[in-house]
Amino acid sequence: MKLSITTFKRSQTYLQSSCSHLWRGLNSIGNEEKIEIPKRIHRSPTDILRCLETTISRDPTAAHYKYHDDPYLIPMSNVGKRTFAMAQEAGRKAAHWVRKENAELFNHLEADPVIPSFLPKLVYTEESKVTEDDLIKVIANCQVQDAQIVYKLLKNQGNKISADLQQALLELVCYYNCSDGIAEEFIEERWFRQSSNLKERQRKTWKDSSFAEELFQTISNPTAETYCTIIQGMNKYFQVDRAWKLFEEAQNKGFVLTTDTYNSVIRVANFLKESFDMRWTFIVNTLDDMNKAGVKPNLGTLNSVLHVLSTMGTSRTVKDYILNILSEFKSLGIEPSLGTWYYVLVTYCKERGMVSTILHDIMNQLENKEQQIKDISDTNFFVTAMDICRNHLNDADLAKRVDKLLHVGSNYDLIGDSYKESIYYRHYFILMSTSIPLEEFMSNIYDVLVPNIYVPEPGVMSEILKQIEVNAAVDYIPKLWTDMTTFDHTDRESLVEAVLNIMVDDVSPKKDTTLTESFAAIAWDIYVKVENQNIKKINKINLTGDLLGKVMLMLLKNDDFDKACKIMDKLDRDHQTVAGVPKIEVLELFIDHCIERKMPTRAIICIEYCSDSGFPQCGVLASKLNEKLTLDEDHLNRLSRIVGDMKLSSKVAEEVH
Amino acid sequence: MNLNKLNIIWRNVTTQKNVILTPTPIQKCFLVRKSTTNKDSSSSSSSSSSSSDSDEDVKTKTKIVKAKTVPPKNNEETMTKLNSLLQQLIKNDTVAKTSELKLARPKDKRVPKEQREARRVETNEKKLEKAVGEVAKDIGGDTKQTESELLTKLLSPIESKESSKSLNEIMKGMKIDREPKSVQKSKAEQVRNILQNVQTKRQDGVRTQPRARQSYQPRSRPPTSIVVEKIDLFGAKPLGIFTNKDLKETNLKTWQKLYEKELKLAITHPPANYFQEMILWTEQGKLWKFPIDNEQGLEAEKNVDFSKHIFLEEHLESWCPPKGPIRHFMELVCVGLSKNPYLTVEAKIEHIEWFKNYFEEKKKLLKEVGAIPTDGRKADQNKQIE
């Protein structure tokens, strides 16, 4: 239908254009067509590249770009990926170090125009000759330590520094708390850095009586900006009390403070006021002050207020305040960012409080829209939303919507870092594995994302195994075992046991023998792995009789008698170290196989083991062996030594009888 | 809701499960034991660990007590074996103890809601069946089928879990009589006693077990209990604080710049393809900028017009003779210079200046040769023209 319309349209336009050609030919003089030359669109140097880049989507079958240089060494496990990337980063750091140590070797100007980032860094010492331009440059490059040195040098050399420059320097040192952060070039390091500093951020880290404060003191007639800078800096690093004093001082002096200063004061309301009520009054008062002073709030104000509200318990009023604030800022024309929704989610969906479905409404707002980063808290949204989908709502459809939003445009950039990404997928996997059919989960999610985009952690793996157990989908076991081997999960006792139990408990009739074969291979693999563990390992898997019994069972089911014999030898030999005993059924099966293969010696060893382990059935087994095979004198002697003459002979007698 | 109920009931049932579900192995082992009472000690007084797993029966207990009193016929071999085993047990026991360092902790006085509920439950099995029925109904489809599936699932997995206790866990619950008398016991007795202890412990520890599980449980809630309640995110009454119409946003310049930089770094991740890497390198100034411009980085030249580079003859006019070999030579120099992309205009003029000075030095000689027309002759010519 659609197609026919388009073809029809096309023929129509063709007709029109040919008509117009004819028409133009007829009265070419009369009708003058005006040619409009479009205005030139200025493109930035990266526009073409960005355009090309959008044509490439992430290929889940390929390893990440950073790993693909060396196909043989492509890492598969989480630890491996991290180690590989950090090794690359370490190489980069080593190169930086060499350049720093041998700066004189890198002064040749190979490139024209010169590439500044390849040149060795300037080192400022006591003797350096510096000018104001140097200070401007180091401030622009965010070299915090260097800026301090250059400033001191300039002072010592008796130069006058302009007020603007002093202000810029103060802002720099306050922003970074007088120390350099991770250099811009080390992207991997930032990506793999654990977000553990989130907790650390909540305590005072401001460096008291540091360069920033000294500089603040030396500024003879401080302006509003000077005060704003130091207040923002102190609040950023939780030197709350002194910031508050300066804030009051500045207000008394009648300065008009910046929006960011108010934001920073609101953000630390938790430290300034004790009770929830007092915090809320404080927020309202501060906002009122802003209104009076004619300071326009921005997104930062909104998020700061919500940040405080999100720590104020689960009561109904807090939730109402949130909605009030949202509509207040909406009427001011301030659009919420993902970070805003993050705070809303945190407030509404507490672990202890009532279940709230606010995520549905938020998703209605966000759906199919490409998001830009506007606030630093924006990167928390996706991981929190997925957490709520799983733990709060347990809603797979909603989780799918969140995941879809993550893949709109360049929204994936907002995932945060590797740590947040893996938590996001952890929630996604566990939720999906429990709520959609297992086949669908395995083919649509597991096979797509594992191992290149996400490597399931042991906890997730055990959840998947549980689902396999519930669904009796034993076909997936060989595949999962392969994956577990590549992801280094085989040293987890619980996982190994889970796999083994699933295989043992599987009673479904086998259509093909390949599964039995691979089960036997897996069981043998488990045995070999457990047997060859490093002695010094901390969490070693204990070789229990039960485990060995299960391995043996799988081997016997596949007629792997030789390997089963090895297990039996192990059981018999290491009686002292192996805890517990296998199930008697397994030993019986082993003896059956011995009988089948006419190997009385092995059977007798097994019976001896049974009797040593205190199985009452060994008498029965012995007589069975005696029944089925004709034993020689030696064997009979051994048997009778184990189970006692009487029994054997009585049996024999019975038989004879 | 139904699932939740199911969970609670299931937890309660697990404690009784052993008795309910596995009567047969007990009986079996019992029969066997009877038939072999007067046999060799090692076999007669033993029971398999697997069967004693489910030993709960009072009768078996009494049996065991009896077996204990019978002095077993020990030979040297079993003695040494037993000793070594015992030593090992003791060793392992201490290890387990050290690792199980329990520190004082505030007691959680609150009784979880689910436990409170669970206490009210009288007949677990019935509730269980009912709940399973409800769930099956909710799921729809073949209710009988799902019901039976759920029930079998609920009643089966505990055995495998118990057998999968690690050695340490078993050891934890052990109490070993360290008096020499205990050495007299046979190996099987040891094992059985140990397992017995574990079992009774486990029965005692029933109250703690579900609690441990509960810490994980309440996180996942059943989806059925949720009704999507519509919340109008922007529908609430505004606070009405910002009444001032003349609001102005002010910000610190450098601070703002640094914040923007931080935002940018927050979404700069390791490049995922070559284009992204090129973007990164371009931004770091390591690559030519697209579209390729071979004058990139020649900022000083931007203000110099190309004609200044090409038309250099004007710099000859002031000194060069209008014709003759010097003029010819200099014109060639100009052509050469005009085609040189590597020199700035100043450098080109400098070149020309150099030749000017050179010819100035050699002026006398050049005049003699006639390369420069003499002033006299030149004056004559001028006069003639006039």
Residue ranges covered by each domain of chain A: 122-183+191-252, 583-657
In angstroms, what CA-CA distances link A250 with A247, A300, A453, B255, B257?
5, 21, 51, 19, 24
> And the tokens for B164?
């999968």
- Distance from the B259 Cα atom to the nearest Cα atom in chain A, whole angstroms: 9
Q: Which residues of A touch B25 (CB under 8 A)?
A: none
| Long-range Cβ contact pairs of A545-549 (< 8 A, separation 24 or more) | A545/A571, A545/A578, A545/A579, A545/A580, A545/A581, A545/A582, A545/A613, A545/B49, A546/A580, A546/A581, A546/A582, A546/A583, A546/B163, A546/B164, A547/A496, A547/A497, A547/A500, A548/A578, A548/A582, A549/A581, A549/A582, A549/A583, A549/A586, A549/A587
**DSSP string covering A627-652:** HHS---HHHHHHHHHHH-HHHHHHHH
Across the interface, whether the CB atoms of A287 and B241 are under 8 A apart is answered yes
Residue B164 pLDDT > 50: no
Contacts of A393 in chain B (CB under 8 A): 221, 223, 226
**Pick from B39-48, B118-127, B315-324: least confident:** B39-48
Higher pLDDT among residues B283 and B21, named by residue: B283
Confidence at residue A23, expressed as pLDDT on a 0 to 100 scale: 54
pLDDT at res. A549: 92
SS3 A272: helix
Mean pLDDT, residues B265-282 taken together: 92
Residue bearing tokens 């189970």: A643
Q: Where are the domains of chain B?
A: 2-100+111-223, 300-385
Q: Which residues of B touch A459 (CB under 8 A)?
A: none
Q: Searching chain B, which residue's CA lies closest to the CA of residue A546?
A: B163
Q: Are residues B170 and B194 in contact, defined by beta-carbon separation less than 8 angstroms?
A: yes
Q: Which residue of B has its CA nearest to A615?
A: B48
Q: Pick the residue of B47, B48, B63, B226 with the most A CBs within 10 A to test the interface with A by mutation.
A: B48
- Partner-chain residue, chosen from A167, A361, A614, that has the shortest CB–CB distance to B230: A361
- Is B255 close to A176, i.e. CB distance below 8 A? no
CA distance A8 to chain B (A): 40
Residue ranges in chain A whose pLDDT is less than 70:
1-31, 194-201, 510-512, 645-657
Query: Could you tell me which chain B residue has the CA closest to the CA of A261?
Result: B251
Q: Per-residue confidence at B141, pLDDT binned at 50, 70, 90?
A: low
Looking at residue B192, its pLDDT comes to 66
pLDDT band at B121 (very low <50, low <70, confident <90, very high): very low
Q: For the segment A145-171, what is each residue's pLDDT rounded down to a tens digit? A: 999 999 999 998 888 889 999 999 999
Q: What are phi and psi of B141, to 5 degrees?
A: 75, -145
Q: Which of B164, B228, B269 sits opposite A413 (nearest CB)?
A: B269
Q: What is the reported pLDDT for A204?
A: 86
Does A552 or B297 have the greater pLDDT score? A552
**CA nearest to B31, candidates B73, B63, B71:** B63
Spatial distance between the Cα atoms of B343 and B347, rounded to a whole number of angstroms = 6
**Greater pLDDT, B104 or B269:** B269
Phi, psi at A544, each rounded to 5°: -95, 160
CB–CB contact B274 A176 (8 Å)? no
Rounded to a whole number, what is the distance in Å from the CA of A599 to chain B's nearest CA? 24
For B263, which residue in chain A has the nearest alpha carbon?
A376
Q: Locate B177 and state its tokens.
A: 């009589």
Nearest CA in chain B to A49: B275
Mean pLDDT across chain B: 66
Q: In this structure, are residues B23 and B165 in contact, taking their beta carbons and an 8 Å threshold?
A: no
| Furthest C-alpha separation in chain B | 158
pLDDT at A476: 93
From A187, A328, A581, residue closest to B268, measured CB to CB: A187
Q: What is the mean pLDDT of residues B368-373?
A: 82
What residues in A contact B51, CB-CB < 8 Å?
A: 584
Q: What is the pLDDT of residues B180-229, one digit of tens each?
A: 444 455 666 666 666 666 555 544 444 433 333 333 334 444 444 567 77
Shortest Cα distance from A578 to chain B (angstroms)?
9
ipTM higher than the 0.90 cut: no
Contact (CB<8Å) B42/A612: yes
Q: So what's the pLDDT on residue B308? A: 92
pLDDT for the residue numbered B31: 39
Query: DSSP character for A454?
Result: -
The SS3 assignment for A656 reads helix
> Is the CB of B270 less than 8 angstroms away from the CB of A187?
yes
Residue A339 pLDDT:
94
pLDDT (0 to 100) of residue A200: 53
pLDDT computed for residue B292 by the predictor? 82
Is pLDDT above 90 for B19? Answer: no
Q: Which one of B43, B174, B243, B296 would you mutate to disrupt binding with A, by most A Cβ within 10 Å of its Cβ?
A: B43
**pLDDT at position B296:** 83
pLDDT (average), residues B319-341: 92
Higher pLDDT, A577 or B276: B276
Nearest CA-CA partner of A466 in A440, A509, A505: A505
